[in-house]
Amino acid sequence: MHSIFYYSSELARYDFGPDHPFKPERAQKTLELCYRYGVLHEEYMTLKKPPALPYEKLLLAHSKDYLDVLQRVGEGEIFQEMLNYGIGSQDNPPLRGIYEWSRKCAGATWEGMVEILDQKADVVFNPLGGYHHAYRSRAEGFCYINDPVIAIKEALARNVRITYLDIDAHHGNAVQDAFFDDGRVQFISIHESGKHIYPYTGFVEESGAGKGEGLIVNIPLPPKTDDEIYLEVFRRIVIPLIQRFKPDILVAELGADSLISDPLTDLMLTNNSYTQVVGELKGLCGKILATGGGGYDIYRTARCWTLAWAILNDVEPKDEFAGLVGGMMFGPEMEVGSLYDRPYAVTGPEKDGIRQEVGKTMEFLIKRHRL
């Protein structure tokens, strides 16, 4: 087994501004926790710096005119035309250095895919990746360069079967659209319903077209969905679909914004269900390319991603400072005294209503896919 963890302190320090919810420093907190809990010390693990993605690889997901605009913005230009490409909004501000930053974040996901394709890695994690909202000619939802699309297209050129699973609380809209009628990629997104949050897409009826019909699977969940219901959906729908498709490589967008404390979403998960999902993915495919994604409570996100890395590598986190004076919990795990969250469950009539709504979604998907 060989695993790669991509990280750059330069990329983790990149600042979207004090009022912007996206904080790349989550990656730094994750790395610190991985070292603290001894899950990045095995001989088969490599810590690698993200490379700048070659321009021709950016063209796998983006138009030349969009890349030219993004490059100009990255060099500090502010101009009217950028608004036509989604740059200049509150979500996607015109930031100096954004082109190079995005190119390196995407470079890690792309190179990680190449390492898997070349049989040099079995598990890759890029906490600085997962920008699933970036369209061919438009920045959207904090995303400028769509690294999952680039990596998947690199793999398709080598004739492999890919499942893309997105557990971010936001629907993976731009990845879905890139492969909507492709027929070579199984796309599964389990997210908070577009009736309630951005990007207002990802409804159960969206199922692909042409060769892609039936390969696009959306599982929208109502606000306040908890661990119990989430895991029921995952095991009843997601696992059988992936088992049937039998992917060569599983690309997993492991956004952590479905957690109970996330300021931008309304799901009520703890990382107990999150980690069970990651563990069950490990049993579905031997080759996994995982990325970060959403997660706006940076401490809980760091805990999630530390646990995900540990699970993907079959290592048990152990606090190497436990019991030392001054070595008690800090930052990410202070509130619970552990990497794991306290259990939480919604109860009463509210739970009954959620269960009823999710039951209808499952019934629809079970019938459509003959599960």
pLDDT digits (tens, 9 = 90+) for 340-367: 999 999 999 999 999 999 999 999 999 9
**Range 333-337 contact pairs with CB under 8 angstroms and sequence separation of 24 or more:** 333/33, 333/299, 333/303, 334/299, 335/299
pLDDT in tens, 82-100: 999 999 999 999 999 999 9
* Low-confidence residues of the chain: pLDDT under 50: 324-330, 332, 336
Residue 39's pLDDT is what?
A: 97
**C-alpha dist (Å) from residue 204 to 216, 267, 281, 294:** 9, 18, 22, 21
Residue 319's pLDDT is what?
A: 82
**C-alpha dist (Å) from residue 37 to 46, 60, 266, 324, 332:** 16, 38, 30, 14, 12
Residue 325's pLDDT is what?
A: 42
Spot the catalytic one: 2, 41, 132, 133.
Answer: 133
Query: What range does the domain containing 242 cover?
Result: 3-369
Residue 321's pLDDT is what?
A: 66
Residue 334's pLDDT is what?
A: 52
Residue 338's pLDDT is what?
A: 79
List the CATH number of the domain containing 206.
3.40.800.20
Residue 83's pLDDT is what?
A: 98
Is 2 in the active site?
Answer: no
Instruction: Classify the C-alpha dihedral 49-331-341-346 as positive or negative.
Output: negative
Residue 117's pLDDT is what?
A: 98
Model pTM greater than 0.85? yes
What number of helices (H) and strands (E) belong to the chain? 12, 8
Terminal-to-terminal C-alpha distance of the chain? 33
- Residue 194 corresponds to which tokens in the numbers above? 């577009």
Q: Is the bond preceding residue 332 a cis peptide, omega within 30 degrees? A: no
Q: Is 128 helix (H, G, I), strand (E, B) or coil?
A: coil
Task: Give the whole-angstrom CA distance, residue 94 versus residue 188.
Answer: 31
Q: In what order do the strands lie in the sheet with 288-291?
A: 45-48, 3-6, 123-126, 288-291, 249-253, 162-166, 185-192, 216-221
As for how many domains the chain has, the answer is 1
